[in-house]
Amino acid sequence: MKHLKILTGIGLWLLAAGTACNKAELTNLNINPNTLNTIDPEIQLAKAQLLNETQQFSYEPLMHYIPGYIQHFAAVTGVMGFGDKYFTNRPEDMNGFYTSLYTNSIVNLTDIFAKTKDDPEKVLVHSIARVMRVFVMHRLTDMYGDIVYNEGGGGFSQNALFPKFDAQQDVYADMMKELQESSETLKATSNTLRNPAQDLFYGGDKTKWSKFANALMLRLAMRISRADANLSRQWVSTAISGGLMTSNDDNAILRHTDGPNASARNPFSLVFESVETEGQKLSKTLIDFLRDNQDPRLLILSMGIGPAEGPFDTDPAHQKGMPNGYDATTILDYEGLLPGSTLNIHTTYSTVNTKLVNRTAPSLYLSYAEVELLLAEAAQLGFTSSNAAAHYNNGVAAAMKMYQVFDPSLTVSDQEIGDYLAAHPYNSARGGEMIGEQYWVANFTNPIEAWANWRRSGYPELIPVDFPGTNYADQIPRRFIYPASEAATNASNYSQVIARQGADTWHTRIWWDK
């Protein structure tokens, strides 16, 4: 980027003397020929994808809170205890994820738009960036409600230093328009990426990006099913006609590496590398559901019961989840032990499978299993005329098979899947419940989505904890509060969004949460 420095006295003298130097020549003198002055938009795309949630110290809301809210995990001590017991005494935890998305992922995507919007040779990277921006923004709005959308990331390029918040209803309308237009462009363009490796999701595969755009549109369309059923139905139809994912090969996956810094690693690893010392285990709610239904995923999500060095007890009947809402003292009473007794939680409760949460484990953002379960619900609601049971079966089967991307050993056989579905046939009388429960399990490694769909659907029927001393006892949080910096530095716009959306609390319901 060109930077025009302050003219020195001699420079002014030369101009006054009528020399041949002009403004352009003086500007060019300030370009360092040995450095990059323009960043390749494909490199920016890779950065935006990598840092959509993994920037070190920006993952707190995802890992410390949401897994406890949705009772995938429980914790008697350690950072997951914040979500396990609905603690709200660390509002600073809200800063990292919110600000990191805007200053890393969104600002890079915004810059890509500015660089590529009028370049016919950059249609592909431009379209991918449009879809990627919707992906980032939809997770942000699902967590907070009204967000800075139209002016998001425009602090530099648009001089939007005090950006306005957009109503979630308007954000959703624009996101689905963006996805529809991008999907059509992706299918029509003959562009390729100069370096496909810079696309960390699909390696520049236009067909897969188009399917992802429509699958994301389906997710968003079903998200508003209770807020605006007619609009939801319309966008479901548009997503289906645009072409959806057809197998686990289409799953949206970010593959992580162990370095060169923590940003490249799976964000779960930042929490679970210390799991054996911090008291975080799989929740009783999850383990009971899997064990009682003889779900073959039980020993995929859990590595069994036992100390870190093993051996682990992998008998399905012996698996036991930690109850939510207890600390190191109250858990003793739960287990029928006297105060002051010693409880080894590692030999008492099931441990998460480290293959799912280690440094190089992939992040699975949207799956074919999710698509089929959403189609099952759309059929259940009468939005489509397709067969809800068939979609449900496809979704369960895909969910059980998708863990091979984490490790080839994490397999479920066709026989096991067939036996499970035969023992748990789809029942339309409780179709919403069955679909919601399966969606909850399928998004075990994607807590943001599991939490969002639970808030929308009400399934599974989670029993809130009532831990003494919390601000919101017996109420599972419905949103995150904005970082304090919004009220401090963007006060006028912050006040407007509070007046429109409601109080900035953990339990103010956002637009689609009915």
Domains of the chain: 1-37 (no CATH), 41-267+361-501 (1.25.40.390)
Range from 116-120, 156-160, 495-499 carrying the lowest mean pLDDT: 156-160
* Residue 132 reports pLDDT greater than 60: yes
| 3-state secondary structure at position 305 | strand
Residue 470's pLDDT is what? 72
pLDDT at 377 over 60: yes
Give CA–CA dist 262/148, Å, rounded.
Answer: 27
Average model confidence (pLDDT) for the chain?
89
**Could you tell me whether strands 252-254 and 302-304 are parallel, antiparallel, or unpaired per DSSP bridges?**
unpaired
Mean pLDDT of 363-387: 98
Tell me what pLDDT residue 1 has. 36
When mean pLDDT is compared across 84-88, 216-220, 228-232, the lowest value belongs to 84-88
Greater confidence (184 vs 39) lies with 184
pLDDT band at 27 (very low <50, low <70, confident <90, very high): very low
Q: Per-residue pLDDT averaged across 113-127, rounded? A: 95
pLDDT of residue 21: 40
- Report pLDDT for 200: 97
d(CA 266, CA 363): 7
CB atoms closer than 10 angstroms to residue 514: 13
- Under 8 Å between Cβ of 83 and 323: no
- pLDDT tens-digit profile of 424-472? 999 999 999 999 999 999 999 999 999 999 999 999 999 999 888 776 6
Per-residue pLDDT at 487 exceeds 80: yes
> pLDDT category, 268, cuts 50, 70, 90?
confident
Query: What is the reported pLDDT for 66?
Result: 93
- pLDDT value for 473: 61
Would the pLDDT of 90 be above 90? no
For the ranges 77-86, 395-404, 471-480, the lowest mean pLDDT is seen at 471-480
For residues 482-512, b (16+ Cβ closer than 10 Å) or e, as one string?
Answer: bbeebeeebeebbeebbeebeebebeeebbb
Closest CA to 374 of 222, 209, 220: 222
Q: How far is CA 382 from CA 379, 387, 426, in A?
A: 5, 10, 16
The pLDDT of 333-338, averaged and rounded, is 96
Residue 35 clears pLDDT 60, i.e. is over it: no
Mean pLDDT calculated for residue range 328-347: 94
Confidence of residue 15 (pLDDT cuts 50, 70, 90): very low
Residue 386: predicted pLDDT? 98
The tens digit of pLDDT for each residue in 57-88 reads: 567 777 889 999 999 999 999 888 889 999 87
